[in-house]
Amino acid sequence: MAHIRKIGKSYQIQYYLNGRKRYKQLPPNTPRAAVEAEKKKLEADLALHKAGIKRFTEHDRKPEFLSVAELADLVLEARQHEVARETIDRNRYAMQLFMEVIGFDTLVSELKPSHLDRFVKARFEAMQVFYQQRGRHFNEDRVKRGINKDLENIRTVFQAAVKKEILPEKLCLKIEKLKVDRQRLPNVLTSGEIERIAGHLQGEAWLAFWIIRYTGARRSEIARKSLGDDRGLKWKHIDFERNTIRLYAKKKEKRVPMHQKLCELLLARKAELRESFDSNAHVISLVRDTLSDYFARAIAQAGIDKPGAVHILRHTAATSLLESGANIREVQEFLGHASITTTEIYTHVVQDRLESAVNRAFA
């Protein structure tokens, strides 16, 4: 069954194809009788498709009548077997945020720079509320970088639409990122700060803290996105004989050496579980957002004014390796960076810390 909606001067026919909502946008000022006729034809074609008599196709859609929601569905469906699920999720999330501001039914052909301006303003306001509610430090440059990630994901969807000939180049939304003052050096923690933060954590959050501290793992490598997610660090990924941990991210596996102190902590946790131990179970059952909240709260309680929550531990682990004599290639391997350029930022952190130490020593 299809349904007719009137949006401004245009009509839209909504229907379901293979369990997913679809839209057919009709030109402005189309007579109601013509819309009704198109609806009946569409329902007949869908019935033939469902019966397996004639495959229903959507090749007759005109790009100028595509809504932003339709565009997102078409692009993400076309890319789902080409890129990682995490990439699709990020693209979908950014488009969802964008559409919540500008409207799901907005036609792609009607998009203007003012729509992007509204989106950026709304994201700024939302992030201000987010930080205020959690008692976290609001850093404008950091928020801009987060919004830039959203803009990059939205741009990816539009560029993919052009590449797959869903949209002509002239309808591709031109997106520019926000300007950020300068490249920031990652925040890192001192040994004293690490101990203070750990003192405000307990249970699995405390264990997760030390896992990331000693492995430099990403949050996504040890914790699930949701309770129904099967990803994350499991006991079977830990090899106590070889002292290694297998971490998975972006469809890649990496093995990192396990520090003796971390090995002792994990063995103690395993002993606590006793009969309930299951090698297929998650080491950390907390979901990612909950883990971030625990870390952020502990950092604030420790009186440390450094943004980063979970990721600051990854930065700290990388910096500690360099300061201990590891070369840049070894750190790249440890972190799982595809490009060494990403890793090189930590050499600047080490230099910055050295300069600070010299200034303190000879003040």
The CATH number assigned to the domain holding 174 equals 1.10.150.130
What is the Cα–Cα distance from 145 to 262, expressed in whole angstroms? Answer: 33
Q: Which amino acid belongs to residue 28? A: P
CA 1 to chain centre: 36
Do 100 and 86 belong together in one domain? Answer: yes
Do 201 and 348 belong together in one domain? Answer: yes
What's the confidence (pLDDT) of residue 58?
A: 56
Q: Domain of 349?
A: 191-361
What's the confidence (pLDDT) of residue 361?
A: 54
Do 131 and 254 belong together in one domain? Answer: no
What is the Cα–Cα distance from 98 to 306, expressed in whole angstroms? Answer: 29
Do 170 and 195 belong together in one domain? Answer: no
Do 73 and 219 belong together in one domain? Answer: no
pLDDT digits (tens, 9 = 90+) for 211-232: 999 999 999 999 998 888 888 9
Domain's final residue, options 39, 60, 81: 60
Do 140 and 255 belong together in one domain? Answer: no
What's the confidence (pLDDT) of residue 101?
A: 94
Task: For residue 219, give the CATH number of its domain.
Answer: 1.10.443.10
Do 215 and 130 belong together in one domain? Answer: no
Which class for 227: exposed (0-12), middle (13-18), buried (19 or more C-beta within 10 A)? exposed
Do 85 and 142 belong together in one domain? Answer: yes
Domain's final residue, options 184, 214, 234: 184
Do 172 and 204 belong together in one domain? Answer: no
Regions of the chain with pLDDT less than 50: 59
Do 152 and 216 belong together in one domain? Answer: no
Sign of the C-alpha dihedral computed for residues 321, 323, 325 and 326 taken in this order: positive
What's the confidence (pLDDT) of residue 335?
A: 85
Instruction: Say if pTM beats, i.e. exceeds, 0.85.
Output: no
Domain's final residue, options 184, 214, 248: 184
What is the Cα–Cα distance from 46 to 142, expressed in whole angstroms? Answer: 48
Do 134 and 213 belong together in one domain? Answer: no
Do 46 and 88 belong together in one domain? Answer: no
- Looking at the 3D structure of the chain, how many domains does it have? 3
